[in-house]
């Protein structure tokens, strides 16, 4: 298949669609992003990478980082992670407090905000310098030492993050946050602020399509079993209360972020990422979702 021609075609098509949605404004720094950008990239199993549009522009990956946090935590202490977070879809917005009340501080899954905050708390326990070690982990996966936190975004998110602070305090009251809320939130917002391009994202997530191996280094990131389970969690929980819709229309494990990025994994074939800052009502990029739907359909890519 000529993936470059396909990405070029999809880019032309989605940029011609009527303008819908808006950038994430509840994080003030993200409100300044130019909304009409679009990029898409694809990395095949053999390492060949294709891209179109703004695929080399760096953006705040936001909740896409939750999969990277989870992967790092599982590589260190898999059993501990799954003793403190569940694996069920939430059916609620990504920053909802509703379920934590009757589930006694146990997040429904690690890809909602509450679950990612617990994963951050676990990494604070397991690593002496988690921010530095997360950065090293991501740089090694993507093969680019220039990847860094966008500290302006991190500070903006920290200052406007009353809901995440509330989630953390609520879980701490049940004993599922062990470190100070300030420490957990600082690590969490820095992880979400990682600035990466679509090209970076497809490289970093290649191990999710390669049965746990980061190619071409052949360094094992996770076991085959762990990757299978993380892909399952992405498929069922990666888009919050729109996860079923993405599975229905795209049919691939994936993860979105309110920075406008989406990564999708076709095990054994490719990783793909698309980015466009305008979001729909559920917090997922409208054009990135549509682009990945067209990509999956025309490449006959699905886990089903």
Tokens read off for 293: 């739907």
Among the options 181, 258, 263, 265, which is catalytic?
258
Q: What percent of the chain has pLDDT over 70?
A: 98
> For 149-183, how does the pLDDT look when each residue is reduced to its tens digit (9 = 90+)?
999 999 999 999 899 999 999 999 999 999 999 99
> For 59-86, how does the pLDDT look when each residue is reduced to its tens digit (9 = 90+)?
999 999 999 999 999 999 999 999 999 9
Residue 287 three-state SS: helix
3 as an active site residue: the answer is no
Confidence bin at 91 (pLDDT 50/70/90): low
> For 108-145, how does the pLDDT look when each residue is reduced to its tens digit (9 = 90+)?
999 999 999 999 999 999 999 999 999 999 999 999 99
Among the options 14, 60, 66, 250, which is catalytic?
66
| Residue 294 parent element (H or E) | helix 286-299
- CATH topology (fold) of 3-299: Beta-lactamase (3.40.710)
Among the options 14, 23, 63, 118, which is catalytic?
63
| Mean pLDDT for the chain overall | 95
What is the per-residue pLDDT for 111? Answer: 96
Phi/psi for 270 (5° steps) reads -165, 165
What is the per-residue pLDDT for 96? Answer: 66
- Which residues 6+ apart lie within 8 Å of 44 measured at CB? 3, 50, 269, 270
66 as an active site residue: the answer is yes
Q: What percent of the chain has pLDDT over 90?
A: 91
Among the options 90, 153, 240, 255, which is catalytic?
240
What is the per-residue pLDDT for 97? Answer: 73
Contact status, residue 241 vs residue 253, Cβ threshold 8 Å:
no
- Give the single-character DSSP code of 90: -
Residue 92 has pLDDT above 80, yes or no: no
Helices marked H in 147-213:
151-159, 162-173, 181-192, 198-204, 206-209
What integer is the mean pLDDT of 222-249? 96
Largest CA distance in the chain: 54
Burial of 2 (0-12, 13-18, 19+ CB in 10 A): exposed
> For 236-286, how does the pLDDT look when each residue is reduced to its tens digit (9 = 90+)?
999 988 999 999 999 999 999 999 999 999 999 999 999 999 999 999 999
Among the options 71, 188, 201, 221, which is catalytic?
188
Q: Measured between alpha carbons, how far is 143 from 49 in angstroms, rounded to an integer? A: 13
What is the per-residue pLDDT for 95? Answer: 56
pTM: 0.96
258 as an active site residue: the answer is yes
């Amino acid at each position: 298949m000529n993936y470059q021609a396909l990405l070029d075609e999809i880019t032309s098509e989605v940029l011609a669609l009527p303008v819908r949605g808006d950038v994430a404004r509840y994080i003030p720094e993200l409100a300044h992003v130019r909304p009409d950008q679009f990029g898409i990239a694809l990395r095949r199993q053999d390492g060949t990478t294709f891209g179109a549009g703004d695929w080399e522009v760096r953006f705040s990956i936001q909740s896409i980082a939750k999969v990277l946090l989870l992967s790092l935590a599982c590589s260190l202490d898999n059993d501990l992670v799954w003793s403190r977070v569940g694996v069920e879809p939430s059916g609620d917005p990504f920053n909802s407090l509703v379920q934590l009340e009757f589930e006694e501080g146990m997040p429904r899954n690690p890809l909602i905000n509450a679950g990612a905050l617990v994963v951050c708390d676990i990494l604070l326990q397991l690593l002496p310098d988690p921010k530095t070690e997360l950065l090293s982990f991501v740089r090694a996966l993507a093969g680019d030492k220039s990847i860094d936190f966008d500290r302006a975004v991190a500070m903006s998110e920290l200052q406007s993050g009353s809901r995440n602070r509330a989630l953390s305090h609520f879980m701490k009251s049940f004993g599922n946050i062990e470190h100070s809320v300030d420490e957990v939130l600082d690590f969490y917002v820095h992880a979400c602020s990682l600035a990466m391009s679509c090209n970076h994202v497809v490289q970093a997530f290649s191990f999710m399509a390669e049965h746990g191996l980061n190619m071409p280094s052949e360094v094992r990131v996770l076991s085959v079993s762990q990757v299978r389970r993380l892909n399952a969690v992405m498929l069922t929980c990666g888009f919050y209360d729109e996860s079923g819709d993405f599975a229905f229309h795209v049919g691939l494990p994936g993860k979105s972020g309110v920075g406008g990025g989406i990564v999708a994994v076709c095990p054994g074939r490719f990783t793909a990422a698309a980015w466009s800052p305008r979001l729909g009502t559920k917090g997922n990029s409208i054009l990135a979702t549509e682009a990945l739907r067209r990509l999956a359909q025309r490449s006959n890519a699905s886990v089903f």
